[in-house]
Structure 1
Amino acid sequence: MNRILSLKYAIGIVWQNALAWSILDGIILIIQSTLPILVLYLTKEVVDLVAAGFLSANKKAAFEDVLMAIAMLGAATLFTTLLTLASSLIYEAKNHKISRHIEHVLLSKSVKIDLEYYESSQYYDTLHRAQKEAPYRTGQIVSSLFKFLQSVLTLLALIGLLFSVHWMASLVLFAIAIPGFLCRLWYANQIYHWQKKQTPLERKMGYFQWLLTNGTSAKEIRLLGLGDFFIHRLMELRHTVYKEKLNLSLRHSIINMIVQSSSVLAILGSYTVVAYNTVQGNLSIGDMIMYYQALQRGQGYLQNAFQSLSLVYEDSLFLSNFYEFIDLKSKIQDPENPVAIPSPLSQGIRFERVGFQYPGNSCKTLQDIEIDIPAGQMVAFVGENGSGKTTLAKILCRLYEPMEGAVLLDGIDIRNFSLKDLRNQIGVIFQDYIQYHATARENVWFGNIGVSSQDKKILLSTRISGAHEVISGLPEQYETMLGKWFENGKELSMGQWQKIALARAFMKDSQILVLDEPNSSMDAQAEYEFFKEFRAVAKGKTAILISHRFSSVRLADYIYVLDKGRIIEQGNHEDLIAQNGKYAYLFHLQAQNYR
């Protein structure tokens, strides 16, 4: 049933994306299926005319008849070649459209899937298999079906010819082809399950290749002398995969050799029958040659038919990887009847008894979190690494759903808002921001592609974040390509990249700002300038600051201290210092470095 669904889905994709090409391909297929019979018949005519010419008194007239038959045979052969070339071009055009559609489906699914899937290695295995097989298997399964139909149509005519010689000749064709077909089905099943099992190894090999060739890891690979070590590991993995594949291919070759040997014996028997009938005078020399060729071609077309059928089966197996990925369900969905987000916020944000645990983790990341962030105020989250600070920001953005409790905006559960509307109201920069290898202008504009790439908001955002001075010093200023992946690209320091990312966060006219370690790569002067601008920009907005630097945290109106997923302290800077707890300890620990 799954195989039938795979075929039905593939035909549906071809129908939607390459219908005209497929119709044209079908017309050529019908014509191609009749041409081999015509070529066989014209070959017979040439031979018979040559044989008759030996006995003819008018050699010139006999030779003219032979030339005419040869010309017709040549025209039929040339037409067959032209149709084959046309079919190849159509196949390429059709597959391009189908592959582009499949790639679009895969990428669209990838950017919409819940973030929690990225916590699972099984997800990466599923994605890898889908990306590897689906783009070409979808078009191939339909093309294989077309080739099967073409072979069947040609076979029907060839079988008619063979049946006129002896009914056994037709049966021999099927007898010699069926074992090969079963062998191909067995191998297709074996290779599918083997490749599925090899997915983690393939991804690990890809990871080692990335480590050895990526600029991000290049410095450390060289300083630690890890190049040869990782190359050795990669080669070991390749050798393991090679041995397993070789063993599987060897088994297939042995079985295939037995099958082919049986086929040769059957073909020799059929040739004997044809030769005997010719010697007895029941067939002419031309008939004998035609039937020999018909038997040979019949064997080829029947094998092609079964091969195409086995490819349909094989492709349907591998397409199940694509469907497995497409069928992944997202927990984070838009509500059926979304409500409008209050604008402006009057009450603010509330985390109400929020609990959360990452998939695969044995302990909770957040437990019973109660946080109130009044509208228009700046609140800071403080705590050691792994205390849950960034996870709170991700839950607010609905990148994850809380397992317990809820997050409210002005008393409304954020799950009642559309995802697009909610995220448009939150300007955010995470500590693991992206360094886009694009122009400086695009790097900022990506923060809000709903406006023009020439919008004055870009300049305003870069002035707030301090990126304007950085960009102004580049060769082509805002049109300079950043990063080294593309021609004429300019690399930035970590602090400069962070200023670009901050500018991106300020591009939205959002009511809420979330800054996760916004000054981690800034020097003291840059940090001072940034927060001087930020206080002015954040006025009237609700802001969340996540930071280890207490020089910036103390600017917040209220501070929450987290430890192992729980809130252990809260208050303003002065109150927390007076409590002489965890916050005071961390503050004094950091402050002594400046004394």
Structure 2
Amino acid sequence: MTSSTWDGEPASAAADANSPAWAVRAAAGRRLAVAAETPEAADVLHRLLLDERDTGVVQATAEALLARRDVAGLRVVLKALSRAEEFEVADQLAAEVHCDPRRLSGEPGAEEFVQQLRALATDTDEGVREEARRLLPRLPTTVKEIRLDNVSYTYPGKESPALDQVSMTLRAGQTVAFVGVNGSGKSTASRVLAGLYDVSDGAIRWDGVDVTAMNSESLQSRVAMALQDPVHFPFSALANITVSRGTLTEADPHRALAAVRASGAETVIAALRDRWSAVLSKRFKDGEELSEGQWAKVAVARGLYKDALVLLLDQPTASMDPRAEHAVYQAVLRGNRCGDQITVLISHRLASVVECDTIHVFERGRIIESGSHQDLMELGGEYAEMFTLQATGYASATAPGTGPA
């Protein structure tokens, strides 16, 4: 906790300690926090934490709420923190929660505090959920297995689920492909895996631990994504790569070079006037703009540079020609990937994913087939039909004498 001048009164408010009004407000906040047991009282406390202009009173009330050591008291503080707009008040609330000694390993009540946070991580209030998950323990630095157990997800405002009872197991070192027609659920599955969406039903577990019981920011930091519509950062070419690790000014030269070579972005950067230091935006003097296909290669390099536990490539190469996409995916599949990395490839061009360890075929939010390329071809189902159709199309397009007269 922050230092105090007397019996829990914050040092930051020492100058106001002689003010009768301050003392009355602080004492009232403490008494209400200790005694409150009804939803109405919780609402009063919530408004007090948001509306009180004196951070000393806010701290005294928050301290008393946390001292209750129950879910209800913690929920009021987290709800206020998620809605606090005044910088000093938000800072004070955050400091009280982060400085709570129960968060320290080995302290009495630490496990109880974590259990309270886990209960609030599934709260009906979105702000409470987010604040609780930011405080939960971080994910481990390695993972052997990620399991999706009967996972469903429905987009807000929609009646039909985008994912419907999906189950699968992803293991360290594997390459996995999600395939299917547009709207089949494969991209939604990738976003659920990345922690961007909270599942409507079912569970996602990393080595047996439900992700809703783990720190949300650490989950996202352990997943690298390259999407079909990548972000065009108005940074230098190098910073557009290194931003995936949260930095614009520091770079690992060897890792950066390996990433751009694997993605095909090396030739893109080599063609820029200022190479790595070229600013990729016409909004700046001497800035340069890339084509969509070039941005796709930069986005893939960005994901590779992060070197995360899970790499998700969700059709980032859709704007490339088939040969360029095939080269990128081959580099990912055969390159010097981290040995325990889980790689998920999503593509409509099935020739790009034939070497994956496992291919999951999605249809209407469900997985209808799973197996290796050979397994699925022998099955003679949806995948075999799609692959044969594409292969026949390519063969017809390249056969001698089939061009225009």
Quickly name the TM-score band, shorter chain normalised.
0.5 to 0.7
Cα deviation code 1:17-59 (max 9, x no counterpart) = xxxxxxxxxxxxxxxxxxxxxxxxxxxxxxxxxxxxxxxxxxx
Q: 1:450 to 1:438 in 2, by over 3 A?
A: closer
Indicate the residue corresponding to 1:586 in structure 2.
386
Matched letter for residue 559 of structure 1:
I
- Give yes or no for contact 1:335–1:416 (8 Å, CA) kept in 2: no
Relative to total residues, which structure has the larger helix share, 1 or 2?
Answer: 1
Q: CA RMSD in A?
A: 3.0
CA contact (8 A) 2:230 2:295 kept: no
1:505 equivalent in alignment to 2:288: no
User: Does structure 1 conserve the Cα–Cα contact (< 8 Å) formed by 2:229 and 2:316?
Assistant: no
Query: 2:199 — aligned with what?
Result: 402
Query: Percent identity, aligned pairs only?
Result: 35
Indicate if the aligned counterparts of 2:330 and 2:352 stay in contact, CA closer than 8 A: no
State the AA in 2 paired with 1:338: P
The structure-2 alpha-carbon separation of the partners of 1:578 and 1:104, relative to structure 1 and needing over 3 Å to count, comes to farther
The residue number in structure 1 matching 2:151 is 354
Structure having the larger proportion of residues in strand: 2
Aligned to 1:544: 344
Deviations 1:249-297 (A, max 9, x none): xxxxxxxxxxxxxxxxxxxxxxxxxxxxxxxxxxxxxxxxxxxxxxxxx
What does 1:508-519 align with in structure 2 at a 5 Å threshold? Answer: 508-519=306-317
Give SS of 1:468's match: helix
8 Å CA contact 2:356–2:372 kept in 1: the answer is: yes
SS of equivalent residue, structure 1 residue 329: helix
CA distance in 1, matches of 2:327, 2:200: 40
Q: Displacement, 1:421? A: 2.1
Task: Report the equivalent of 2:327.
Answer: 529
Max Rg structure:
1
Partner of 1:428: 225
Q: 1:408 to 1:328 in 2, by over 3 A?
A: closer
- Relative to structure 1, the CA distance from residue 427 to residue 337 in structure 2 (aligned partners, 3 Å threshold; closer, same or farther) is closer
Deviates more, 1:329-338 or 1:457-466: 329-338
1:565 corresponds, among 365, 368, 372, to 365
**Structural mapping, 1:230-309, within 5 Å:** none
Counterpart of 2:380 in structure 1: which amino acid?
N
Q: Give the C-alpha shift of residue 579 in structure 1.
A: 1.7
Give the distance between the partners of 2:342 and 2:53, measured in 1 at CA. 52
| Pairing partner for 1:375 from 146, 152, 172 | 172
AA in 1 matched with 2:246: I
Q: Which blocks of at least 5 consecutive residues in structure 2 are unaligned?
A: 1-42, 59-83, 92-124, 396-405
Q: Paired residue for 1:145?
A: none
Whole-angstrom CA distance in 2 between matches of 1:370 and 1:505: 25
C-alpha distance in structure 1 between counterparts of 2:375 and 2:307, whole Å: 33
**C-alpha distance in 1 between matches for 2:281 and 2:247:** 24
Amino acid at match of 1:496: Q
Instruction: Write the distance in 2 (CA, Å) between the matches of 1:104 and 1:577.
Output: 59
What is the CA-CA distance between 1:509 and the residue it aligns to? 3.0
Paired residue type of 2:285: E
Is the contact made by 1:352 and 1:407 (CA closer than 8 Å) also made in structure 2? yes
- Assess if the C-alpha contact under 8 Å between 1:341 and 1:422 holds in 2: no
Q: How far apart are residue 329 of structure 1 and its match? A: 2.2
Paired letter, 1:523: D
- On the 8 A contact 1:439/1:478 being kept in 2, the answer is yes
Conserved? CA contact 2:185–2:365, under 8 Å: yes
The answer to whether the 8 Å contact 1:425/1:511 transfers is yes
Indicate yes or no: 2:143 matched with 1:334: no
> What does residue range 104-503 of structure 1 map to in structure 2 within 5 Å?
329=127, 331-332=129-130, 333-334=132-133, 337-338=136-137, 340-341=139-140, 343=142, 345-346=143-144, 348-450=145-247, 452-456=249-253, 457-503=255-301
Q: Normalising by structure 2, report the TM-score.
A: 0.64
Q: What SS does structure 2 have at the residue aligned with 1:371?
A: strand
- State the 1:417 CA deviation: 2.4
Distance 1:548 1:439 in 2: 31
| Structure 1 residues not aligned, in runs of 5+ | 17-100, 109-326
**d(CA) in 2 for partners of 1:539 and 1:459?**
16
Q: Return the alpha-carbon distance in structure 2 between the equivalents of residues 393 and 584 of structure 1.
A: 23
Q: What is the CA-CA distance between 1:381 and the residue it aligns to? A: 0.7
Over 3 Å counting, the alpha-carbon distance change for 1:416 and 1:342 in structure 2 is farther
Structure 1: which amino acid aligns with 2:137? Answer: P
Q: For residue 538 of structure 1, what is the amino acid of its counterpart?
A: R
What SS does the corresponding residue of 2:355 show, helix, strand or coil? Answer: coil
- SS of residue in 2 equivalent to 1:398: coil
Q: How far, CA to CA, are the matches of 1:349 and 1:468 in structure 2?
A: 33
**Number of matched pairs:** 286
Cα 1:524–1:339, aligned 2, differ >3 Å: closer, same or farther? closer
Alpha-carbon deviations, 1:192-236, whole Å to 9, x = none?
xxxxxxxxxxxxxxxxxxxxxxxxxxxxxxxxxxxxxxxxxxxxx
User: 1:88-135: per-residue Cα shift (whole Å, max 9, x none)?
Assistant: xxxxxxxxxxxxx96989xx9xxxxxxxxxxxxxxxxxxxxxxxxxxx
Matches of 1:524 and 1:560, distance apart in 2? 21
